[in-house]
Structure 1
Amino acid sequence: MHKEMNRLGVGPKFALLGLVYGAVILVLHYSFFPTLTFTLISKWVNIVLGTILIIIGFPLFILSGIMVHTHIGKGKLCTTGVYAYCRHPLYGAWVLFVVPGIVMITGSVVAISWPVFLYILCKIYTAEEERYLRTKFGDEYLRYEKEVYAIFPKIWRKYS
């Protein structure tokens, strides 16, 4: 018998460490390195691209949360919708869209490490979730794990 995992999984640990790291990085940037910035063509291009990333990331995060919450309530593995392309879209939304969007908007060279840090955190913490899911769902999860990437979406999956 496996011990049930909290509905939020490793999300709270991921969020807390990610937010603390991001806050420290941004404080360091604005306190000590305010001129250490990058721009793509112009600051406005950074702002527009960063905003687009955030606009993609938040709905992806919300949709993923609703989908997994519904499936958890039924005791089922969520493998449809965005979960057909990425096993961890809740974390992926932050790693690939929201935080890179913030980095783009600030233009902070120092903050470029933030999404990298989140990706590393994600790899470490999702291992715990995946062990639990393998135990709970067995072969169903093993097949899903083999077909679908963890963080980076396998967007061509449906078209190959």
Structure 2
Amino acid sequence: MWCIATVTLPLPLEDTFRRVAAGVMFVVGTLFPVAGVVAFRRAKTTVDPRTPEASSTLVSSGIYRYSRNPMYVGFAVWLLAWAVFLGSGWGLLGVMFFVLYMNHFQIAPEERALRALFGDEFRAYEQRVRRWL
């Protein structure tokens, strides 16, 4: 994203506005993964996304009532904050590629593992709660 920002025209945003907006987005983005980790810790289940099969509980409370992947939402908001900080409209491609990559290579395998582990309970959760927001 930084490389793209250095070779493209910046967005016509005043520096102070751009920096404050990026800071606010970063703070908001931080709340999502923190809330996700807190919910997992309270449920005494794994936080490690590399081992969804080690999950002992399907967490659907707290932030997980609104998003099945609040940690990834937070990371995407961090990238959005970075694009705004850089003042790069083209930098938004980084956010788009992150979402596409995560959907295909991380979230889909996690969801398959959780469907296998929790069956109908996870399927019902998928119907109630969106993948991102």
TM range (shorter): 0.7 to 0.9
Moved over 3 A (4+): none
Provide the alpha-carbon RMSD of the alignment: 1.7
1:58 matched to 2:30: yes
CA–CA distance in 2 between the matches of 1:69 and 1:110?
37
CA distance in structure 1 between the aligned counterparts of 2:12 and 2:107, rounded to whole angstroms: 33
Equivalent in the alignment of 1:123: 103
CA deviation string 1:42-93 (max 9, x = no partner):
2221111111110111122122123224432581111001000000001011
Aligned residue runs from structure 1 range 2-151, under 5 A: 25-30=1-6, 33=7, 36-40=9-13, 42-71=14-43, 72-73=45-46, 75-95=56-76, 97-124=77-104, 125-151=106-132
One-letter identity of the residue aligned with 1:61: P
* Identity in percent: 23
TM-score (norm 1): 0.70
| Matched AA of 2:29 | G
Give the aligned residue type for 2:126.
E
Q: Tell me the TM-score normalized by structure 2.
A: 0.83
CA distance in 2: counterparts of 1:123 and 1:43, whole angstroms:
33
Structure 2 gap segments, 5+ residues each: 47-54
**Unpaired runs of at least 5, structure 1:** 1-24, 153-160
Equivalent pairs counted in the alignment come to 123
